[in-house]
Chain A
Amino acid sequence: MKKYQNIILIILLAAVVRLAFITASPPSLYWEEAALGYDAYSILKSGQDLHGHPWPLVAFESFGDWKPSGYFYALVPFIAVFGLNEWAVRLPSALAGILTVWLTYLIVKHISKREAWAIWSSLILAIMPWHIQFSRAGFEVNLATFLLTLGVYCLILGKTRPGYLVGAMAAMVASMYTYHGLRILAPLLSGMFIIAGWKIYVKSKWFWISLGIGLILIIPIILAWNSPQIQQRINETSLFSTSLAVEMTNAERAADGNTLLARIIHHRYWFWGKEILAGSLSHFNPDFLFILGDHNNRHQTGFTALLYPWMAVPLLLGLMVIIFGRERRSWWLVGWILLATIPPALTNLTPHTLRFLPASPAMAMVIGLGMDEIWQWIFKRPRTRIFHGLVVLVVISSLTVYLYDLWFVYPKRSSQNWQYGYKEAIQAIKEDYYKDTPIMFTQTYGRPSIYALFYLNMDPKRIQQIEPQLPKSQGELLAIDNLTFGQPHPLPGMVVVSDVPLEGGALKQKIAFLDGKKAFYVYQY
């Protein structure tokens, strides 16, 4: 038992920082989470999503944005046990986060004899703001990162025990069904391991069997590639569909007289190539990693970025040790981090905290290596205790300050970004809904209908039946029963939920964001 004491404590720590106040910070369900929750509920009750598609395989239509199916199915058992609520929606992600911490320990322990490195790596991941943030809400990418890490662990184990290769295949394929970016990253990362260990893997029949099954299992994704299920996402976010490359290069070609040479030197592929490379490298900007993060308040607290600033030191040290030192065998950690920048680099928004998350376990292992180096180096110096104490002090104080902000202040700062207020507004009109009073609900904050489905716990079977007749924008419902979503036009007898004060009605309730700004006004006309 003594042997496992450290890792058990770290897993407990990881669990506490991920699970404590999980429904209060982030303060409310974002609409993606509500959509994941309700569609999973729908599958549980009827075997169809809310649009009536039975058992979607590659992606759920949802708001017309076609979300990968993995998280929906992962949610089903949790909703079966806990019911349709915030806790159930967030739990799979939190558990995936905690398990990833454990996997990090297992991976390092397996590749090196250095127990201390393994402990540091898991500790670093346990307290890493980047990983905590995505473990505390229903983020598909966090579950996918867990699956990817599991896949890597099995691939490494598979070198000596080939049976694990089947597990590696299963985890990698599952990750591809869970998050868009992993459809690119999982094959790339597996490919890197397979090429590097070709001589070992190729001898085993399990390798060929799992490769074959894996290829068969991803056929649905390949077949769906040109359908809206995947193209929708590509059109919205891809660099190629949104950049100005074509216009710019055409203008310059014209200025050069459109000769063959001009066509070559002003070709859009150069432009795109540079953009992709710049986008990929932008994930290593120190201001992105250590100070600001990206500009989305849901992806980090805004007070702390992805990593604590002091982590810059062990990160660089860890990299140096991998490149020049004793851990040259662990080059694949660097490969993992570099490959993880490719999917976000293909999009139009870089650097991106969420899309880069699959690199976080590798990052933790590199930082953990650096921490271990520092720790061991202090052993060789005089006044060991003081310096060790200093390291511990830095770690604990930064974690404390971060958690204080995360648990108590961040929810107030970010409540509007998390769509705070919908739950309260739906509660406010609940009675009127059951009394069949006509209700108009503002659409200003986006996608209100999913919150009505979720918090009024509507029967999915009935929704599936009436869904074809309901007005929609893409996959988003614009009216359900006596509820209408849109710009409020009050008529006598109506209940109106507005985002701005209105004239003429009797104000029943005001709902505010957590920073005090007004979110909703509920009127009776």
Chain B
Amino acid sequence: MSTNIKIALLIVIWVGLFLRLYRVGSNPVSLYWDEAAMAYDAYSVSQTGLDMQGNHWIQAIYPSYGDFKLPMYIWLTSVFMKLLGPTELSVRLTSVIAGTLLIGIVYLLGSHLFKSKTAGLFSAGVLAFSPWAIQFSRAGFEANLGLFWMTLAILCLVWSLKKPWLLSLVAASAAAGVYSYFSVRFVVPIVAILYILLNIRSVDKKFIIWFLAASIIFAALLIPIYRSPNYAQSNQFRLSTPSLLNTNEQVIQQNVNRELAGNTLVSRLIYHRDWFLLKRLAVNLATNMDLRYLFFSGDPNLRHGTGQTGLMLLPLGLFFFTGWITMFKRYWRQAIFLLGWWLAAIIPASIPLTLPHALRSLNALPVLALVIGYGVTVMWQSRFRWAKIIATGVLLLSLLSFSLYWHDYWQHYPERSAEAWQYGYEQLAGYLNTASQSYQAIYIVPADRLYLYLLFFMKIPPQMNMQKASNIQMKAVDEKTFRQLPTKSLVVLDLSLYNDYQQKIIPKAILNDFEGKPQFIVLEK
């Protein structure tokens, strides 16, 4: 039995790796600008040991293109840049590997929590085939790396009751998670405290000493982030997204209702703004737990999902119910632990107003996999024959549902999502990379963050100002200016700008978008 499980686990991990790695450079169809920015920083670090602005690679917060990034993803990616060169694969490989290793971690976590290797195996299988996991493992998402470290920390945590020294690894791994994705700093402490409270009877003195030590290590490891010269600015950047922290909706509701109620003392109490704020937070949390979102439609943002499937395969919804219900009966501690983990993971996603959000709530992914995996196990090992038959049938349906998802991912998703992934920038950069050598000057219509793609795909040496490093200028050239340009110039326009030329100049090349409509027009002089 045990060897069977080992073989099955290996198969699951290998299949999971395949699903994440297969042609990862070409679908998603292009690097998104966050990926391009990390790619260029990683390339820069691998070449010179400095980031794109010329700062030393050991820094807690990378300025990047002004949106401030945590360093872990860039550090790990720079290794692949060194080994494989500056390609899409190198950027995404970090995420692919983190996502694949997560399958193994979830196996260990499931086996431990439910005291059953089968439950671990099913949880791992659910994760391997989850559209949510696959989506975020196939592109350079820092959150996916953060998820890996966080889950590793939680695995060490649940093991630590027997071996308290593992708490030091919890601290290290959690810190690595925070250096990958910032919301991990919030999730791990809550989950850790909850786990300890639930198992307070097994806690001894040795454990407490290790726990205090681990807390100190964790806090100490985070000091560089908080003391980073970029911290204040990065914090400001993060808080600038519209969220419950800066909305005044609850004040309006409070005032309207108080006014209608005649501003009595009672009305001041029951229409207090904090009630409305609490209500809104509860609604946001519910939106991130909504069944339609989890099993039917997913996140409408096409970088966060295909738009045609839920975070988890629809037929698995059945096991989600049986899993929760039986867990509360048989393993209520585990149930409360997972529920707490789920809530802790979606709270950071419920403060901003873009809802639901599959990226910000990614830390909840293992919870869903574990609950569903447990639900499958319960039915699979049931003493009722009908339960086994239903479980088998639903698993087959899930496989069918996965095939439909996989078909959609390769046949329809690329076209649907091309714009969301900034398709075209990478292609333009690739074209210029081969064409640029023979021109004195290149003028490119300014487009949002296009320069990140030029830097990366044209392999412009790091720390060089683009104008100095190459012959490129970001400048919109109209017809009149075009006529005054020296010869051996290349001009890149977007379609609307080219339309102003009234077709007096014949393009040298036209770069199409994914649907085949002209996106960039290249003129030569």
A residues bordering B, Cβ < 8 Å?
Answer: 252, 255-256, 265, 274, 277-278, 281-282, 284-287, 290-292, 303, 309, 320, 323-324, 401, 404-405, 408-409, 412-413, 515
Contacts and interface: CB of A to CB of B under 8 A. Distances in A.
Contact of B292 (A255, A265, A281, A291): A281
A291 B325 contact: no
Nearest to A412: B260
B233 to A, nearest CB: 35
Contact of B286 (A291, A303, A412): A291
A256 B411 contact: yes
Contacts of A309: 282
Contact of B412 (A252, A292, A323): A252
A401 B282 contact: no
28 contacts: A252-B412, A256-B411, A265-B404, A274-B296, A274-B314, A277-B314, A278-B292, A278-B297, A281-B291, A282-B291, A284-B291, A285-B290, A286-B282, A286-B286, A286-B289, A287-B286, A291-B282, A291-B286, A303-B257, A309-B282, A320-B325, A323-B325, A324-B325, A404-B266, A405-B270, A409-B257, A409-B267, A515-B260
Contact of A413 (B260, B267, B296, B415): B260
B279 interface: yes
Contacts of A282: 290-292
Given A291-B282, A291-B286, A320-B325, A409 B261 contact: yes
A294 to B, nearest CB: 13
Nearest to A248: B308
B402 to A, nearest CB: 13
B257 A413 contact: yes
Interface string B8-34: 000000000000000000000000000
Contacts of A285: 286, 290-291
Contacts of B296: 274, 277-278
Contacts of B411: 255-256
A287 B266 contact: no
Nearest to A319: B325
Contacts of B290: 282, 285, 287
- Dominant SS among interface residues on chain B: helix
B270 A255 contact: no
Interface string B382-414: 000000000000000000000010010001100
B107 to A, nearest CB: 28
Given A284-B291, A287-B282, A320-B325, 7 more contacts: A252-B412, A255-B415, A278-B296, A282-B290, A287-B286, A324-B329, A413-B256
B328 interface: yes
B208 interface: no
Nearest to A289: B286
B260 A320 contact: no
Given A274-B296, A274-B314, A409-B257, A320 B291 contact: no
B509 interface: no
A483 B363 CA distance: 64
Contacts of B197: none
B155 to A, nearest CB: 29
Contact of B261 (A278, A284, A287, A408): A408
Q: Which of B289, B292, B295, B411 is packed against the most chain A CB atoms within 10 Å?
A: B292
B427 interface: no
A515 B256 CA distance: 9
A303 B272 CA distance: 12
Contact of A404 (B270, B286, B295, B404): B270
B286 A320 contact: no
A401 B292 contact: no
Nearest to B282: A291
B190 to A, nearest CB: 20
A454 B380 CA distance: 64
Q: Do most interface residues of chain A lie in helix, strand or loop, or is the interface mixed? A: helix
Contacts of A278: 291-292, 295-297
A328 to B, nearest CB: 13
Nearest to A261: B407
Interface of B: 256-257, 260-261, 266-267, 270, 279, 282-283, 286-287, 289-292, 295-297, 314, 325, 328-329, 404, 407, 411-412, 415
A452 B325 CA distance: 56
Contacts of A405: 270
Contacts of A281: 291-292
Contacts of A401: 270
A282 B292 CA distance: 7
A404 B267 CA distance: 9
Closest 3 CB pairs of A and B: A287-B286, A412-B260, A278-B296
A409 B407 CA distance: 54
Nearest to B408: A252
B149 to A, nearest CB: 31
Q: Which of B257, B266, B289, B404 has the most CB of A within 10 A?
A: B257
A219 to B, nearest CB: 38
B407 A265 contact: yes
A292 B283 CA distance: 8
A413 B271 CA distance: 13
- Quick one: which of A278, A290, A320, A324 has the most chain B CB within 10 A? A278
Contacts of B415: 255
Contacts of B283: 287, 291-292
A281 B295 CA distance: 11
A58 to B, nearest CB: 34
B288 to A, nearest CB: 10
Contacts of A287: 282-283, 286-287, 290
Contacts of B261: 408-409
B412 A255 contact: yes
Contacts of B325: 320, 323-324
Contacts of B282: 286-287, 290-291, 309
A323 B324 CA distance: 13
Nearest to B292: A278
Contacts of B257: 303, 409, 413
Nearest to B260: A412
Nearest to A284: B291
A279 to B, nearest CB: 9
A416 to B, nearest CB: 13
B478 to A, nearest CB: 38
Contacts of B412: 252, 255
A404 B289 CA distance: 32
Q: Max chain B CB contacts within 10 Å: which of A281, A401, A409?
A: A409
B247 to A, nearest CB: 17
Nearest to B317: A281
A303 B279 CA distance: 10
A286 B260 CA distance: 28
Contacts of B291: 278, 281-282, 284-285
A287 B314 CA distance: 21
B251 to A, nearest CB: 16
A290 B289 CA distance: 14
Contacts of A409: 257, 260-261, 267
Contacts of B292: 278, 281-282
Contacts of B260: 409, 412-413, 515
A408 B270 CA distance: 13
A255 B291 CA distance: 30
Nearest to A309: B282
Contacts of A274: 296, 314
B94 to A, nearest CB: 33
A320 B407 contact: no
A406 to B, nearest CB: 12
B296 to A, nearest CB: 4
B277 to A, nearest CB: 13
A490 B394 CA distance: 68
A334 to B, nearest CB: 12
B267 A291 contact: no
Contact of B329 (A286, A292, A320, A408): A320
Interface centre among B260, B279, B289, B328 (most CB of A within 10 A): B260
Nearest to A515: B260
A291 B281 CA distance: 10
